[in-house]
Amino acid sequence: MSRIGKKAIVVPAGVTANVEGQIVKVKGPKGALSAVLHDDVAVKIEGGEIKIDPRVESKRARAQWGTSRTLVANLVAGVTKGFEERLEINGVGYRAAVQGKNLQLALGYSHDVVYPIPEGITIATPRPVEIVISGVDRQKVGQVAAEIRGYRPPEPYKGKGIKYAGERIFRKEGKKK
């Protein structure tokens, strides 16, 4: 039994959800999202709650049960609160700035890295060494954060690079004489 899958997802006030076959559509104050769920799970809306159950008793159906429930819960959370990811930049001369629809990154290369901001994502730089990525789609927010971090991941000797806020970098000891 999936402990996560058993929990029903409460649809808050101001949010509308409907199910068409395996497609779940959720609309709220921050926007509208939809997800296509696996065929091994059944979705139904009962009394302001979204309930997900496995159709058959197989290992794959049980695995998809919890996954599908979390996907739908993320849709509801996205249209009500939204998601946010924070990145920190460490290194001398490393900085970020938003210019129009692009994120300009100075990361110690011979050129500045220009990252075009995708639709549905907002990027802010409250300080030159901090990047705040926010949006309604959790997958998209995480993907954008991973792509930006990928331009200069933190290195283990001095910790220079782009890291997630709260991420702990495994540090190595340098050469000895």
- Can you give the pLDDT at residue 96? 96
Please name every residue paired with 10 in a beta bridge, in sequence order, or none if there are none: 49
Helix (H) or strand (E) holding 66: helix 59-80
Residue 177 has pLDDT above 90, yes or no: no
Q: Which two tokens stand for residue 97?
A: 């700035």
Please say if the pLDDT value at position 66 is more than 70: yes
For the chain, domains (ranges, CATH) are 3-80 (3.90.930.12), 83-164 (3.90.930.12)
What was the pLDDT predicted at 1? 62
Instruction: Say whether pLDDT at 166 is over 80.
Output: yes
pLDDT of residue 124: 96
Mean pLDDT of 85-94: 95
- Residue 123 reports pLDDT greater than 90: yes
d(CA 125, CA 39): 42
In this structure, what are the phi and psi dihedrals at residue 69, rounded to the nearest 5 degrees? -60, -40
- In 3D space, the residue among 123, 121, 118, 117 whose CA is nearest the CA of residue 136 turns out to be 121
Q: Quick one: pLDDT at residue 150?
A: 96
The whole model's pTM is what? 0.89
Q: What is the mean pLDDT of residues 113-122?
A: 95
The pLDDT tens digits of the residues spanning 1-20 come to 668 888 999 999 999 999 99
What is the Cα–Cα distance from 122 to 124, expressed in whole angstroms?
Answer: 7
pLDDT at 125 (0 to 100): 96
pLDDT beyond 70 at 84:
yes
List pLDDT tens digits, range 9-59: 999 999 999 999 899 999 999 999 999 999 999 999 988 899 999 999 999
Percent of the chain residues topping a pLDDT of 90: 88
